[in-house]
Amino acid sequence: MIQAVIVHIIENGKILLHYKKRGHGMGYWNGVGGKIEVGETPEECAIREAREEMGANIKNIKQVGELFFYDVSDVDWHVWVFRAELDGVPQESDESIPKWFNIENIPYNNMWEDDRYWLPLVIDKLKFKGEFWFNGKTMNRMKIEAWKE
């Protein structure tokens, strides 16, 4: 099972999403993130991935969720979800193009199918745990629970 993180930056009624130019999730909008390296904590990975993908730092990092994805193109994922604030100006990288979206205009039709179920929980500052079963890139079923902090 691959261990990874996703970080969402939400400020002033907007969310910073990244259009993936290559790698896992290519062609989709998502938060910054990636695989946890050996010896790295999920929080350290979140900080590193933010720097690598958008050339900016993040602060006030808070874990809000934990997700399990099964059989996504024959791979299982365990993903820690963080909410953070931006400390700098996001820049395009060879991996992604950052863009701010109004919360009301999140491009769910160009995101992973599961995002529409758990991203609103991040926005509403809820804690959550979810499991999503896929067949390739198509979601077959899900289970999610959320609670207030």
Q: Over the stretch 23-54, which tens digit does the pLDDT of each residue have?
A: 888 899 999 999 999 999 999 999 999 999 99
CATH code of the domain covering residue 39 = 3.90.79.10
What stretches of 19-80 show up as alpha helix (H) in DSSP?
42-54
The predicted model gives 112-132 an average pLDDT of: 96
pLDDT in tens, 68-87: 999 887 889 999 999 999 99
Cβ(97)–Cβ(18) below 8 Å: yes
Instruction: Name the one residue in this structure whose structure tokens are 């991935």.
Output: 49
C-alpha dihedral over 87, 126, 16, 113, to 10 degrees?
A: 150
Total count of domains within the chain: 1
For the chain, helix, strand, coil in percent to 5 are 20, 55, 30
CA angle 43, 74, 113 (to 5 degrees): 65
pLDDT of residue 87: 92
Length of the chain: 149
Spatial CA neighbour of 106 closest among 114, 93, 97, 115: 115
Helix, strand, or coil (residue 69): strand
**What's the pLDDT band for 123 if we cut at 50, 70, 90?**
very high
Residue recorded with tokens 């993908």: 53
DSSP secondary structure letters along 115-135 = HHHHHHHHHTT-EEEEEEEEE
DSSP state of 36: P
Tokens of 39: 């010896």
Domain ranges, residue 23:
2-147
Task: State which amino acid sits at residue 55.
Answer: G
